[in-house]
Amino acid sequence: MAKKDGGLRFQPSGGTRAPQVPVGKKQKLGIERLANDGRGIAFVDGRTWFVSGALPGEQIEARVLGAHGKVVEARVERIFTASPARREEPCVHARTCGGCSLQHMPHADQLELKQRMLAEQLSSLADIQPETWAPALVGPELAYRRRARIAVRWDAKARQLQVGFRAAGSQDIIAISECPVLVQPLQPILRALPGALQALQKPQAIGHVELFQGDASAVLVRHTAALGDSDLALLVSFCRGHDAQLWLQGADEPQPFDESHHLGYRLDAWNLQLGYRPGDFVQVNAAINQAMVAQALDWLAVKPGERVLDLFCGLGNFALPLATQAREVVAVEGVAAMVERAARNANANNLDNVHFFQADLSNPLLGAGWSDGGFAAVLLDPPRDGALQAVKQMAGFGAKRVLYVSCNPTTLARDSAELRQQGYRLTRAGILDMFPQTAHVEAMALFER
């Protein structure tokens, strides 16, 4: 005789798990509002959908890119009812390429979105707002990008080289016939590049290609195996035909094919020329970079007798212009090779009052020889993870003014809270539209004791 069931039932503590939304599924959605990154937000069956390419008030069909728990990431597939604010994308590849996510949004709305994102991060994470909001620093919304990385992949099954940009939400490569955000000198190179690479005898040796524009155009070819003479000759001919330098990179640092070739860019307002090499950090938007440096110097208002500290100085993008105003500039960078090139840039521009040092800026800085004597002002331009260790020591430098250039509002907000603990107040802040057509937010903030 079977044992009688006592009536006790056990279930997993989380209850019944809802089935996951499969990648590729199509779903009709009504978009209610925008997320901080510009994606439309919709709600269906207890899930929150984040939809690239959608605007509030639209009725759309979305294709699922991925799902995690109650969050679904998707991209617009069809638009049934469009928002009055929607505009036709300037690029024919906008809905497939992963490079630009806001081309369907008027530029003024993009700026408003970025301003709101910065304000919300400062408010929610640091409970702080600037005493004055500066107008957005803006430039051309197209033809601004002076650097681009081109994806290359050898399809062994099809025996074909794929060349283009990564697709949105995947590793697929989208063949690109045009890119309106590239500066004009790079656009014909981009159009002709796939044909040149596909004509190589050993195209599978190509890892990726990068394009640069400064005082010259340049093509960097990253190769994973040695290039044969015929393939090298083809690349040389291609670059000469486009009046571009050829740079090659195997296992070591990038090298110019012609040793006489050099790359650089100008900061015209200060009559400065800065040299760089592929792989060095250079701001992608030349017009905004010039305006950004000018605004930084205006806000800091350095006097001729003052000593200034520039942290995360790179090639000297801020340090060299600052040296035209200050008694002395001390500039510190973590990458030794960039410190060497920055020092060469100072020497080439006949600036002997700027001194460059290499240091790990995630470590304590006070007590280093270069920090002795204090500073009237400090400028920081850190990477996305911010400058928390540096700002924790800010009061020790004695600076009355701190200018923070940020490429991540979240870490700027975190570091702003720390600066307030150090006795500084946020007197001015504003966005820098370094990357039009994207949700990427750059900002500048001035703190004063």
Q: What is the pLDDT along the chain (449 residues), one digit of tens a residue?
A: 444 444 444 444 455 566 789 999 999 999 999 999 999 999 999 999 999 999 999 999 999 999 999 999 999 999 999 999 999 999 999 988 888 999 999 999 999 999 999 999 999 999 999 999 999 999 999 999 999 999 999 988 888 999 999 987 778 899 998 999 999 999 999 999 999 999 999 999 999 999 999 999 999 999 999 999 999 999 999 999 999 999 999 999 999 999 999 999 999 999 999 999 998 999 999 999 999 999 999 999 999 999 999 999 999 999 999 999 999 999 999 999 999 999 999 999 999 999 999 999 999 888 888 988 899 999 999 999 999 999 999 999 999 999 999 999 999 999 999 999 999 999 999 999 999 999 999 999 999 99
Same fold: 26-86 with 147-256: yes
Report how far residue 408's alpha carbon sits from residue 426's, in angstroms, rounded to the nearest whole number.
17
Contacts of 8 (CB under 8 A, 6+ apart): none
**Is domain 147-256 in CATH 2.40.50.1070, yes or no?**
yes
The structure tokens 């900002």 sit at: 443
CB 301, CB 445: distance < 8 Å: no
Q: Name the packing angle between helices 107-126 and 409-421 (round to 10°).
A: 40
Per-domain residue ranges of the chain: 26-86, 112-140+285-448, 147-256
Known catalytic residue: 91?
no
pLDDT at 7: 43
Element (H, E) at 410: helix 409-421
Distance of CA 184 to the CA centre of its chain: 20
CB 220, CB 254: distance < 8 Å: yes
Which 3 state secondary structure label does DSSP give 444?
strand
pLDDT at 177: 87
pLDDT at 366: 86
Q: Locate all alpha helices (DSSP H) within 242-335, ordered by sequence.
A: 286-300, 319-323
Nearest of 429, 448, 447, 438 to residue 115 by alpha carbon: 429
Which 3 state secondary structure label does DSSP give 252?
coil
Report how far residue 424's alpha carbon sits from residue 446's, in angstroms, rounded to the nearest whole number.
9
pLDDT at 139: 97
The DSSP string of 68-109 is ETTEEEEEEEEEEE--TT----SSTTTTTBSS-S-TTS-HHH
Say which CATH topology domain 26-86 has: OB fold (Dihydrolipoamide Acetyltransferase, E2P) (2.40.50)
What's the token pair of residue 344?
């060469």
The one-letter code for the residue type at 21 is: V
pLDDT at 3: 43
pLDDT at 17: 62
β partners of residue 333? 358
Burial of 195 (0-12, 13-18, 19+ CB in 10 A): exposed
Selected catalytic residue, list 97, 179, 313, 407: 407
Say which CATH topology domain 112-140+285-448 has: Rossmann fold (3.40.50)
Report how far residue 402's alpha carbon sits from residue 70's, in angstroms, rounded to the nearest whole number.
42
End-to-end CA gap in the chain: 85
pLDDT at 115: 97
What's the token pair of residue 296?
């930084």
Nearest of 347, 372, 342, 378 to residue 357 by alpha carbon: 342
CB 24, CB 77: distance < 8 Å: no
Backbone angles phi, psi at 267, to 5 degrees: -110, 90
CB 209, CB 222: distance < 8 Å: yes
